[in-house]
Amino acid sequence: MNSCGLRCLFILLSFPYLLQADLSSDYYSKTCPDFDQTLVQVVTDKQIAAPTTAAGTLRLFFHDCMVDGCDASILVASTSGKTSERDADINHSLPGDAFDLITRIKTALELKCPNVVSCSDILVGATRSLVKMVGGPRINVKYGRKDSLDSDMNRVEGKLARPNMTMDHIISIF
């Protein structure tokens, strides 16, 4: 995908959620001043070690945002009583490298500023950094999202394009 396509996709997915109250580009400047530096370092190390990380993380971001917003609900694991978005059939092929990246960033940030940074902001920031790293545009993002504690497989159906959908149906999803 060319850089214009990456930019359009990223903006399309982010725009509705940038309108949330209290989002700002310097959201963590006082509570976690090393947020950006830590995130970029972990992202860089992971992308060097596993060059498919950028594509996988962009796809994970897309799957998260298309189902009820960019709230990290795709990261929530299923429980014995509830199957999460992560385990919906269309998400079975999401790459482990992307999940691993978010876990690594979260761990690094928890050591520096415990209980401060949301996984949804980590996913947005990691995706932004990886898009830029692989030649796409640098997109300014705002932080301050809250993580969803609820994730339900049943919310996924009809919100992500499938190969057997008509073009009209796919367009209606967006």
**Contact indicator for 105, 121 with CB cutoff of 8 Å:** no
Q: Which of 42, 58, 63, 156 is catalytic?
A: 63
DSSP string, the chain: --HHHHHHHHHHHHHHHHTSTT-BTTTTTTT-TTHHHHHHHHHHHHHHH-TTHHHHHHHHHHHHHHTTSSSSGGGPPPBTTB--GGGSGGGTTS-HHHHHHHHHHHHHHHHHSTTTS-HHHHHHHHHHHHHHHTT-------B-----S---GGGTTTTS--TTS-HHHHHHH-
36 among the known binding-site residues? no
Question: Which residues are 143's β-sheet partners?
Answer: 24
96 among the known binding-site residues? no
Distance of CA 140 to the CA centre of its chain: 15
Q: Any catalytic annotation for residue 63?
A: yes
110 among the known binding-site residues? no
67 among the known binding-site residues? yes
Q: Report, as residue numbers or ranges, the catalytic residues.
A: 63
Which positions make up the binding site for Ca(2+)? 64, 67, 69, 71, 73, 85
Which positions make up the binding site? 64, 67, 69, 71, 73, 85
